[in-house]
Chains A and B, each alone.
Chain A
Amino acid sequence: MNEQYHDHSHPAQRMRVSLFVTCLADLFRPSVAFASIKLLEQADCEVTVPLQQTCCGQPAYSSGDYDATVPLAQQVIGLLEAADYVVVPSGSCAGMICHHYPKILQGEWRDRALKLAAKTFELTAFLNDIAHIEPQHKKPSSTLSVTYHDSCAGLREMHIKEQPRQLLRQLCGIEVNELEKSEVCCGFGGTFCAKMPEISGKMVNDKLDNALATGAKVLTGGDLGCLLNIAGRAQRQGEEIEVRHIAELLSGDLDTPPIGEGP
């Protein structure tokens, strides 16, 4: 075993999954990564977490600094390409690996990027479509009212739509209370939210209004960027809606305070 890898389980024939934690989960919400590991193990996967990982390079890439992105993309490819599957608890970081690495790399690196792209999945897509996770208990049921925010990259680059809803139904007994205009951007957009804050503020306010209109107690989603944005706005407005990453809900980890809330 590579000493950089921490093995969570041993039996052979399990799907060998490398978790790409994402920088936002690493820095702001480790519970997302721990919940992802728990879910993957529940789906009978052998999970490794390459310890040298940092960031996929999206901030520089989105700002047009391709020169700074290329070495980061190569670093990520080098770290992850040995795995059978790569799972990412974020639609936008998964989209970066699957769709954008091949665009900025050439030659041999592009081939390696394409190979990695073919085995890289967003968390809910992997759990639902590939690993076919089963509920731990029979017939779960929940009265928790939950609404789901479709992140743009998850939705349009990774085609994540039904998977999180299906998993919430199957693992938690939760029917998503759909918010209006669920496919419209929340205004995060990486550096956009800080470069054009007023426009971003209007967009996140619209998103929050639509979420509140559902009467849901919890807003969840697959991308921490959006969730930090929406949670931050909810707190600024004094709105009492809990914001949590989908991995936390699915793994049943509801003891940690919701995003941006005190203990």
Chain B
Amino acid sequence: MEQRRDTFIDNASAALKNLKQAERRDIIASFAPQIRAAAIDSFEGFGDLRSHVKKIRQHSLDNLDYYLSQFEKEAVHNGNQVHFARDGEELNSVVLDICQQHDARRVAKGKSIVTEETGLNSFLQSAGLSVMETDVGEYIVQQAGEKPSHIVTPVLHKSADEIRELFQEKHDLGPRDLHNTSDLVVEACNVLREHFLQAEVGIIGANALIAENGYCMLVTNEGNGDLCANLPKVLIVCTTIDRVLPRAEDATAMSRLLARSATGQPQSCYTSFYSGPRREGELDGPLETHFVLLDNERSNTLASNYREILECIRCGACLNHCPIYTSVGGHAYDSVYPGPMGSVLTPLLTSLEQSHLLPNACTSCGLCEEVCPADIPLPDLLRDLRHDESTKKLSAPRWRYGLKLHSWLARHPSTYQALTAISIGILYRLGRKRGGFSKLPFGSGWTSQREFPAPQEGTFMKLYKAEIKQNNGR
């Protein structure tokens, strides 16, 4: 992943001031949980399926070496070429080599978060290739020169009006005004169709690699994955090593959780399985197919205390339900992976030094864990990352020492109670008239947003001990 600087708080501040986008985020924060809840409430077996898939994912990761070898063997048997890439640079070079071997000039891409992770588009473009995103959302983001703000719905941050303005600027529309939202979709489809037909190489991602038959599974709602996979003469599937599952039925079990959790659909519009190149006598399909399987810190994560994050199925439910993600939007995270899953993954893929604020973007409210179809204890993983942050002394010293002091005092009850009785007494006298404080030394974080409520007269312990004394004296 590209080098990054931890600018979360500044980005979030800017995002909160963009009221138009904030309004859109509020709508989505209401809408997305509703459609998910409706889909899951009407599907009785969700809980059981979740436990079932969790076991499979754990088993696959426990035996990742075995299933990856099996997948490789089967995929090669089907006529594919399988490449392993240690990091993003390696993946990008492998893909460029393949393109250059075929003298390709044009690449059509289906939605692939992994190639966003590796920065493949800019790499290929700097080598002179034209790369066209074909998922409508990704296409819009690409045309706008932006990055996706969500792992499932990349253009969540843009309104129809903004997209219309973008097309008016970038497309030769003639007299068409793209009045209706559906006009926008048709416009994008027409532009994209040409690219599908012209591209020499198609690149897609994969939601699962199936070890038993060497196939991969891809779910989309637009069918663009199928066009990328079948029209160009060369197909490259880019995904990560942790996507492997033992059997085809495991992949379909997962897809039933995925669509409901992501978009509230029982199944995505397209669930496609790709086996390999066109066989003799077949009329269509690519002539050559490649799998490029990226590690980029997954092996290290597998060996760490954070391995459960590898069970993520990329549904985006934790984003849609996280009150912090829905408050500030995906761009604030400055990572391909925003929201709770991203706040775990980004520090692991880059470094905690570059990303230690992200695990702090969490109130431990637990909603992400509750809705996660992979049952990942996201709040625990985020807290463990804050533990690493604290151990590595990356957090602000005033917090670290402040909390150490508090804990020390709390372990010395007599001192604690004497000191708190004095400070609370002072606060009470200063604040009793108004009931609260607008400003407090060392409390600007709190008072920048809210009053600091004044305490009642005396700590409980002081009052209670006085009561005991009085009773005993009686």
Which residue numbers of A lie inside 8 Å of B, CB to CB? 6, 21, 23, 25-31, 33-34, 49, 51-55, 57, 59-66, 68-69, 71-72, 75, 103, 152-153, 156-157, 181, 183-185, 187-204, 206, 228-229, 231-233, 235-236, 256-257, 259-263
Contacts and interface: CB of A to CB of B under 8 A. Distances in A.
Counting contact residues on chain B (CB < 8 A from A), the size range is 35 or more
Contacts of A184: 323, 365, 367
Contact of A62 (B9, B364, B366, B370): B364
Contact of A26 (B362, B420, B432): B420
Nearest to B455: A28
Report, nearest first, the 10 A-B pairs whose CB atoms are least far apart: A189-B363, A194-B445, A260-B453, A64-B386, A201-B449, A232-B450, A64-B387, A30-B460, A185-B365, A68-B407
Interface in B11-67: 12-13, 16, 22, 26, 30
Residue among A64, A66, A202, A204 with the most chain B CB within 10 A?
A: A64
Contacts of B436: 232, 235, 260-261
A257 B10 CA distance: 38
Label chain B's interface by main secondary structure: helix
Nearest to B472: A6
A257 B411 contact: no
A235 B363 contact: no
Residue among B410, B449, B467 with the most chain A CB within 10 A?
A: B449
Given A30-B456, A72-B411, A193-B445, A60 B435 contact: no
B364 A152 contact: yes
Contacts of A195: 360, 399, 445
Contacts of B461: 21, 26, 51
Contacts of A257: 435
B360 A69 contact: no
B7 to A, nearest CB: 13
Interface stretch (B110-118, B137-145, B266-274, B388-396): B388-396
A42 B365 CA distance: 33
B283 interface: no
B451 A232 contact: yes
B453 A72 contact: no
B38 to A, nearest CB: 16
Contact of B456 (A199, A228, A233, A256): A256
A233 to B, nearest CB: 4
Nearest to B412: A54
Given A64-B391, A193-B449, A233-B449, 7 more contacts: A60-B406, A63-B386, A63-B395, A183-B367, A200-B363, A236-B449, A261-B436
Given A196-B360, A199-B16, A260-B454, A75 B449 contact: no
Contacts of B395: 63-64
Nearest to B469: A6
Given A156-B367, A196-B12, A53 B413 contact: yes
B16 A198 contact: yes
Given A203-B327, A232-B450, A59 B361 contact: no
B328 interface: yes
A226 to B, nearest CB: 10
Contact of B459 (A26, A190, A197, A231): A26
Interface string B389-432: 11100010001100110111111010011001000100000001
B448 A59 contact: no
A63 B403 contact: yes
Contacts of A63: 386, 390, 395, 399, 403
Contact of A52 (B13, B413, B456, B468): B413
Interface in B333-383: 360-367, 369-370, 380, 383
Given A26-B420, A26-B460, A27-B459, A199 B411 contact: no
